Amino acid sequence: MSVDLIEQLDILRRSEEAAVTTEPRKLWQSIDELGADFNSLKAVRGQELAVQQEEAGPTTMDLSRRKFLQFSAAASALVATTACTRRPVDHLVPYVKKPEGLTYGVPMWYATTASNGFGVLVKTMAGKPIKLEGNPDHPVNQGGLDAATQASLFDLYNPERLKTPIEVKSGKSIQWAEVDAAVKAATSEAQVESVRVLTGPVVSPSTTTSMNSFLSSSKGTWHKTQDLPDDPIAEAINLVSGQKSIPTFRFEKADVVVSVDADFLGTWIRPLEFTKSFSKRRKLHRGDANVNRLYVFESLHSLTGIAADHRMSIKPSQQLGIILAIGSEVSKSRSADAGASSFFTKYSAEKLSAELGFSLDLVKRAAADLSAARGKSLVVAGGHGPHALELQIASLALNSILGNIGSTLDFESPMKTGMEQGNDFESLLSDMEAGKVSVLFIQGVNPVYSSANTRFKDALSKVKLVLSLSHELNETASLSTYALPESHYLEAWGDSEIREGHVSIQQPVIEPLYNTRSLAEVVEAWDGRTGNYRDIVSSRWQKIYSRGDFRSWWMDQLKTGAHSTGSSRKTPAFRWAAVTPAFEKLNLQKSSGLELVLYSSVGLGDGSRANNPYLQELPDPVTKVTWDNFAGISPVLAAKMGLNRSHYSDETPNILASDFASDVVEVSVNGKSVKLPVFVQPGLDENVVAIALGYGRKVAGSLGTDRGQDANLFAVRNSSNKLQLRGQSATIKKTSDRYELACTQKQFGLQGRDSDILHTYTLKEFEKTQGDHGHGKYHIHPTFSIYDSKEFVYPGHKWGMAVDLNSCTGCNACVVACYTENNVSTVGPDQIAKGRHQAWLRLDLYHSGDAANPDSTFEPMMCQHCDLAPCETVCPVLATVHSTDGLNDMSYNRCVGTRYCANNCPYKVRRFNWFQYSDKLGYQVEKTDPLPMLINPDVSVRTRGVMEKCTFCVQRIRSETSDRMTRVKDGSIKTACQQSCPADAIVFGDLNDPESEVSQLAKVTTGFKVLEILNTKPNVTYLPRVRNKESSV
Amino acid sequence: MAKPRFCVVGYYFQPGEILVAAEKARLRNFKNFDTFTPFPVHGIEKAQGLKRSSLPYVSFVAGCAGLMAAVGLQVWTHLYSWPMNIGGKPLAAIPAYVPIFFELTVLFAGVTTVVVMFTHYCGLPNFSKPIFHPDITNDRFALAIEVDNEDQIEPVKKFLNEIHAQEVHHVEGRL
Amino acid sequence: MKNLLYEEPLVEGSKTYADVNNDVCKPLESFPTKLWLGAFGIANLIMFMGFGMIGYMIYEGAGMSGIRSPVGWGMMIITFVFWIGIGHAGTLISAILFLFKQKWRTGINRSAEAMTIFAVMCAGIFPLIHTGRPWYSAYWLFPYPNQMGPLWVNFRSPLLWDVVAVSTYFTISLVFWYTGLVPDFASVRDRAKNFFRKKIYGLLSLGWRGSSKAWSHYEIAYMILAGLSTPLVLSVHTIVSFDFAVSIVPGWHTTIFPPYFVAGAIFSGFAMVVTLLVVAREVFNLKDYITLGHLEAMNKIILATGMLVGLAYATEFFVAWYSGVSYERFIFIQRAMGPYAWSYWIMVGCNVLTPQFFWFKSLRRNIPLMFVLSLFVNVGMWFERFVIVVTSLATDYLPSSWNYFRLSWWDTATLIGSFGMFFSLFLLFCRFVPTIAMAEVKAVIPTKGSEHHG
């Protein structure tokens, strides 16, 4: 579609040139143009007469030849000019009949499924997808959508996508036919087992079927791996039950949750799903007193740790010890599973804590709470430690003892991660090295980048035909025979089943922009079948849902995007005897010195999204660092090594540092070493150095290449031959270099301003406040004004927002939602390091308490739309004024950019366009076609030199209420951030509507306004963070 | 064509002398005479019998006009032409308007005073009137008496010599 | 009224009226000296470097400057306030000293007023270029009738008060200066040999003939202007200080700002006058008119205002503590001990300590010393604005937004450029305009005209 648009444009251009050069008469095509020219002719004649009169005077008219020639010259000149100024209408296509069901300017919504299986709603304008939102009808994500999936819309329009198949050696683009022929030739002569397919997790039943049929016809094998290996949960379960499945974790049912290095709110398995279910138990302010309690023992400061009520930072080597200690405590009392408790009886918490050197206080508390909440508790563990497998078995056993199997661990409708079969990358690798592989087809993974060593890279040369299907050229694709372009999931048909019995169909919302294919289409073609993949998907489901009217079922599927059916799975029986030997020869000893912690960042994950500016610019939730990875260390260690602690220094919290350049250290793990800038952050054990994976890509487009350092080389295999990312002993050495990390927040201390900025309670304190109707434990100074501000009333709507800090997990989904909805520019590392990021909505993070185990709280900060807005009074040109429905409006085209409003905004939410940011990605790469299609036409793109800020998504409000008086149904307007929030922490609505949820929440006595003492009268109410502790520690 | 007029000019070199001369000229009731000095000589107005300038009234009126303009502009734009909710402040946020009240008052008064002073009171700019002697702007003090016709020149010259003019001559032209 | 701060004769070396003209007009009539040409050349280079910088920024974007969130105002507003401050001495000398009948002003008021006008011109550039879109702010800040109707400016905004106040101040100062110049232009005209000089200065002098009738009106007008300018000169920096005082930024939101700013302005203004006149009287050999007495009197004022400024610093601290507002207290702790402590102590050192030398007559009359000290004061006053603007913004209410501000190379270059412009204009002034108010000086020298017969 874009293509013929472009054609039209240059046709138009050519014709305009023609219009200028050609003789005007030729352009007369229709009668009205003729009329137009009559007028221009009349004009000309008028001119003539006028000229005659003044030339010849009132007397007779005697026209010399000279004069005549002059006149005719003038006349023709006039005719020519009048003709030139008209648009050449002959090539323009009139908008005669509007396309079926499409009105330009009115968005169309489609329900479909993202590649990771989550249900999304796609907003399309004139046929172009411009926004992704969570599908409320989808049983798993239930309306929320994580940052990465939202940002994946960029990949559709990314100019650096592979557009046609490419023969890598010659670098010339070829046709699919040639590829298909090459594959057919290779597979026909290939003998058994020599055709291999390597993919990441595949959650699509249809694709699986297609793949299997291709493999059976080509006598091939299918290997699955993950660039970020998932914890061996399935394997553990398989060992004890013989059933390969991963249960669904029912956090919503758990009163007590214990996590050992499982960052289930940030990166562990399926954070979006877990955030949704976990936050259901954090709705204290919506009248649900039944809040859960979360214990976190972690070697990294993660989102889960920040959400925790009790947190203890540990070393990776202590993971298993913690679980065993808890287990031994728990199994002292009645057990629901005698067999399982046999694990723990031989351990004693005291002995373990002595051996491994962790404090028992929290362990005992956790154990006590767990045993008190049998069947209503949940223990999760992860983190690729030295004993990954044993850790999973132990935590499973612990859950079994607590009787959580079947209640909070749901085996009847288990997860489908696509990796239940386990990771068999190793076997492929050895076969390749043995030369047993002749054809290798890789999709969805990038082993050349993500593997710790060069074995795979070298082995690739032994394979005759290597085909790689990917969105962009990556390290693996650039080493294969053919680099094949993959369709975006918005361009292809498919389906997914990420929880047993919960199916969602993936329908394309746009024709493939380029000559691309989806994974299924590729294998279908190689299997000799061509044609629309929709038929294959639908026919497959027709077989399954033969009963009833399939067509209406199918239509309903496409409408709602999701469908739930029961599953026939049963909860398995566990035979612990099978695994006890593994624990017999298990020896846990105290490790000395530094331990390495590798983790995947919330934004970049395994690094496959490295070329996505939204995710590169997305601040790491805990450190607020963008565009780079770093070596995270604790302030204590930094002090010992004499490193610059400007970002977090627990000694002089009251003075802003002047130098934010980090010292660069050399991190070495068994021989290999990497140079990284340090980031000093609280919440880490003194003996831990944490590094994010997914950086240091070598072939990742213009934005992703060589950002940060690649830490994959530190991964090792542990005793049980599982990939180990944490617990390797590491050493760091200070170098003379310094490097300034692009950090969007430079100060993490509250400076004792809690009562004005951020209210937090322990549950006990909170319950005390419920009686009195005061402001809780915080004293808010009364304010008054010399003006009576009653002059301005809001007769119709008065928009407001409530932010539930108790639910917010800081997952960043809202931030990306805001970027994509409001065309916010990415500005790149240099600008951010200066302090010039453009985010309209940011997640402030404040630490308090001791450096090792701080109480950390997120505070989403956006324009507060104050009734008495300080920014408005000082704007000299009235570029920002108040609307009649209580919004703080910003008119960009009136703004001259004095920045006075930003100075006078106590919340510092106003963003200034220091340069023409909107022209470039990350202020580095010029935006080229088709990127402009990504722009939301309802929101104006800001030019250089103007101020911008959160508008409460005014475009959404106006599209619902053209006049500003008629009531709208509460919840019919959702701001982008609210819609995407998996924790339902943001509520937006009409404060004048007494029924609306937001006006209810605004009345909560413990709710607070930020900086209320300034009497700015904000319209955003914050509901305090409440920590479910026995006492405020 | 009006018939030519003449100015008889006598020169002095001391402010004191010109004061005396001016005094005498006034007592002699010359219709039209004036003194020309390199700097404002103290007391010359009295000696010459000039009455105090009415310029202050002009400035006062101009100042009032400026104030009116400021009030009108601000109140009209914010209350009537374009009433806007700006930071919840009342439309008539008078305290915020005061600075501009003051500034425009001063601006109008100051500029008007000077312009009117030069153009209306001093009849400047005017490049046609005779400059009796280049040193008047340096160190000379001149008493110039305008006479209607030639035969009056001599008596006036005589008078000037009587009052010790150091140098006397006449030029054609108006004062 | 007798002369305060000033004892000795106003003009030395028993000058006649004619001498005054000869001495003052010599530089206008002789061929420019090598010294002048050299100085002017350098100043011009620097000025055009500055203009180049401005052009570069208008092409690239406001980001060229070091300003960043949350420090939305940086070098440009600092320098704007700095120059406006400099621009206070002139009108103060010509207006207030005139009202107080301080005859000693006559020697210096001309150059001081000129300096005022040039300083305000330099100042005027900065608020314009500091905006994101100068090409609009150049006229959108004025309330002009338009067809986007109704679309007006915000008269509640201190920035708008600024626009009006500064442009008024500039206009009135210019008018005042020109009024004073008219008789002297006439003098230059009358002694001009060259035809074009005669014509040009003739035009400038509006055909002034020194008629006593004109003089009488002239003096009234001059008196009225002085009367108007006196409150004006006080109001301008008051209003500039409102830019800060009216906001809610901690460290800005204080009622002490108006007097504090005015005192600072006079302080820096007089320092700049000393800096310039110490050089000018040497170069153009006007020692007899700009006497040591003049310089000493100004040094006394510098001492006094310096003490006032110091008092203001102390008061700020006291009030911050006394107010009990944690944010206020924090800001001032930041200023004195935070990352910007260096700038704070430069400010205190230059503005409070250096003037103390002027307690001693010998030092007040010591030319080299007062030159150096006046330079220190200028530096100190720039840093005073730096401290006010930057420290408050960098660490205001939400710690999450705190950031450390650095000047960019562009900032520095542009700042220097503005000095180039200032000195270019002043050098032109010395070449083409009588640097001493001749008519006024004549009025105050004892009358003993030379015996003269012709």
Measured CA to CA, the distance from residue A534 to residue A540 in angstroms comes to: 10
Query: What pLDDT sits at residue C98?
Result: 86
Q: Is B98 domain-assigned?
A: yes
The one-character DSSP state at C400 is G
Query: Domains, chain C, ranges and CATH?
Result: 17-143+152-452 (1.20.1630.10)
Query: What pLDDT sits at residue A26?
Result: 46
CA Rg value for chain C: 23
Q: Is B31 domain-assigned?
A: yes
**Of the candidates C441, C417, C395, which has an alpha carbon nearest to the alpha carbon of residue C70?**
C395
**Residue partners of A149: CB distance under 8 A and separation at least 6:** A114, A116, A118, A120, A132, A272
DSSP C177-200: HHHHHHHHHHHHHHH--SHHHHHH
Query: What pLDDT sits at residue A228?
Result: 81
**Residue labelled with tokens 């001599």:** B154
> What residue type is A197 in one-letter code?
V
The number of distinct structural domains making up chain B is 2
Cβ distance of C211 and B34 shorter than 8 Å: yes
Do both B95 and B71 map to the same domain?
yes
Do both B34 and B71 map to the same domain?
no
Q: State the count of interchain CB pairs (< 8 A) between B and C.
A: 210
246-285 in chain C: CB under 8 A from chain A: 246-249
Q: What is the pLDDT of residues C300-327, one digit of tens each?
A: 999 999 999 999 999 999 999 998 888 9
What is this structure's pTM?
0.89
Neighbours of B140 (CB within 10 A): 27
Query: What pLDDT sits at residue A853?
Result: 87
Q: At what angle do helices C257-283 and C367-386 cross, to 10 degrees?
A: 150
Nearest to B56 among C160, C220, C231 (CB): C220
Do both B59 and B111 map to the same domain?
yes
* Bond into C355 cis (ω within 30): no
DSSP A998-1010: HHHHHT-TT-B-T
Query: What pLDDT sits at residue A652?
Result: 52
pLDDT above 50: residue C126: yes
Query: Domains, chain A, ranges and CATH?
Result: 3-43 (no CATH), 112-151 (no CATH), 166-224+420-499+508-560 (3.40.50.740), 233-357+387-415 (3.40.228.10), 592-743 (2.40.40.20), 754-784+794-1027 (3.30.70.20)
Phi, psi of A131 (to 5 degrees): -160, 140
Cβ distance of C220 and B14 shorter than 8 Å: no
Residues making up chain B, counted from first to last: 175
Six token digits for residue B122:
């001093």
Query: What pLDDT sits at residue A718?
Result: 78
User: Which chain B residues are closer than 8 Å to A872 by Cβ?
Assistant: 86-87
Neighbouring subunits of A (3+ Cβ pairs under 8 A):
B, C
Give 10-residue mean pLDDT values along chain A (1033 residues).
55 53 46 49 47 45 77 76 52 63 81 90 90 90 90 93 93 91 86 87 90 89 85 87 88 93 91 93 87 93 93 91 90 77 84 88 91 91 88 90 89 85 84 90 92 89 92 92 93 89 88 91 87 84 77 84 78 83 76 90 90 94 93 91 79 68 92 93 92 92 91 85 87 92 89 88 85 69 75 86 94 94 93 92 90 90 93 93 91 93 94 93 88 91 94 91 75 92 94 92 90 91 91 43
The one-character DSSP state at C289 is T
Nearest to A835 among C68, C154, C326 (CB): C68
Q: Are A834 and A1008 a contacting pair, CB within 8 Å?
A: no
> What residue type is A872 in one-letter code?
E
pLDDT above 50: residue C191: yes
Measured CA to CA, the distance from residue A340 to residue A332 in angstroms comes to: 12
User: Which chain B residues are closer than 8 Å to C94 by Cβ?
Assistant: none
pLDDT above 70: residue C119: yes
Cα B71–Cα B73–Cα B78 angle in degrees, nearest 5:
100
Cβ distance of C247 and A746 shorter than 8 Å: no
Cβ burial, residue A462 (10 Å; 0-12/13-18/19+): middle
Do both B48 and B61 map to the same domain?
no
User: Domain boundary residue among B89, B104, B121?
Assistant: B121
Query: What pLDDT sits at residue A1031?
Result: 53
Do both B135 and B103 map to the same domain?
no
Nearest to C447 among B14, B93, B124 (CB): B14
C239 contact B CB<8A: yes
Measured CA to CA, the distance from residue C417 to residue C420 in angstroms comes to: 5
Q: How many CA atoms lie within 13 A of C376 on its CB side?
A: 21
Q: Tell me the shortest Cα–Cα distance from A953 to chain B, in angstroms.
A: 20
- Dmax (CA) for chain B in angstroms is 81
Q: Tell me the shortest Cα–Cα distance from C91 to chain B, in angstroms.
A: 13
Q: Is B167 domain-assigned?
A: yes
**Residue labelled with tokens 């401005």:** C54
Q: Which residue has the higher pLDDT, A777 or C66?
A: C66
Do both B59 and B117 map to the same domain?
yes
**Residue labelled with tokens 């006497």:** C291
Q: Are A677 and A660 a contacting pair, CB within 8 Å?
A: no
Task: Name the 3-class secondary structure at B89.
Answer: strand
Nearest-by-CA chain B residue for C224:
B56
Q: Is B1 domain-assigned?
A: no
User: Which chain C residues are closer than 8 Å to B100 by Cβ?
Assistant: 155, 160-161, 164
Cβ distance of B89 and A878 shorter than 8 Å: no
Mean pLDDT of C149-167: 91
**DSSP helix, strand, coil percent of chain C (3-state; round to 5):** 75, 0, 25
Res. C3 pLDDT band, cuts 50 70 90: low
C450 contact B CB<8A: yes
User: Which chain A residues are closer than 8 Å to C239 by Cβ?
Assistant: none
User: Which chain B residues are closer than 8 Å to C21 by Cβ?
Assistant: 138-139
Q: Tell me the shortest Cα–Cα distance from A884 to chain C, in angstroms.
A: 17
Mean pLDDT of C226-232: 92
Cβ distance of A898 and C249 shorter than 8 Å: no
Nearest-by-CA chain A residue for C152:
A877
User: Which chain C residues are closer than 8 Å to B112 by Cβ?
Assistant: none
Nearest to B87 among A788, A872, A884 (CB): A872
Measured CA to CA, the distance from residue A451 to residue A693 in angstroms comes to: 11
Q: Are A980 and A134 a contacting pair, CB within 8 Å?
A: yes
ipTM of this complex: 0.92
Cβ distance of C183 and B39 shorter than 8 Å: yes
Measured CA to CA, the distance from residue A769 to residue B2 in angstroms comes to: 102
Cβ distance of B87 and A873 shorter than 8 Å: yes
> What residue type is A1031 in one-letter code?
S
Nearest-by-CA chain C residue for B135:
C190
Nearest to A844 among C131, C395, C398 (CB): C398
The one-character DSSP state at A284 is G
Interface test with A, best of C401, C407, C409 (most A CBs within 10 A): C401
Cβ distance of B121 and C206 shorter than 8 Å: no
Which ranges constitute the DSSP H helices of C349-448? 361-364, 367-386, 392-394, 409-432, 438-444
Q: Tell me the shortest Cα–Cα distance from A879 to chain B, in angstroms.
A: 10
Measured CA to CA, the distance from residue C302 to residue C357 in angstroms comes to: 11
User: Which chain A residues are closer than 8 Å to C137 by Cβ?
Assistant: 877, 896-898
Q: Tell me the shortest Cα–Cα distance from A869 to chain B, in angstroms.
A: 4
User: Which chain A residues are closer than 8 Å to B90 by Cβ?
Assistant: 787-788, 791
Q: Are A635 and A313 a contacting pair, CB within 8 Å?
A: no
Range of the domain at B35: 6-52+128-172
Nearest-by-CA chain A residue for B94:
A787
C228 contact B CB<8A: yes
Do both B105 and B132 map to the same domain?
no
Q: Tell me the shortest Cα–Cα distance from A681 to chain C, in angstroms.
A: 15
How far is C-alpha A804 from the geometric centre of its chain's CA atoms?
20
B94 contact A CB<8A: no
User: Which chain C residues are closer than 8 Å to B96 by Cβ?
Assistant: 155-156
Burial C148-181 (b: 16+ CB within 10 A, else e): eeebbbbbbbbbbbbbbbbbbbbebbbbbbbbbb
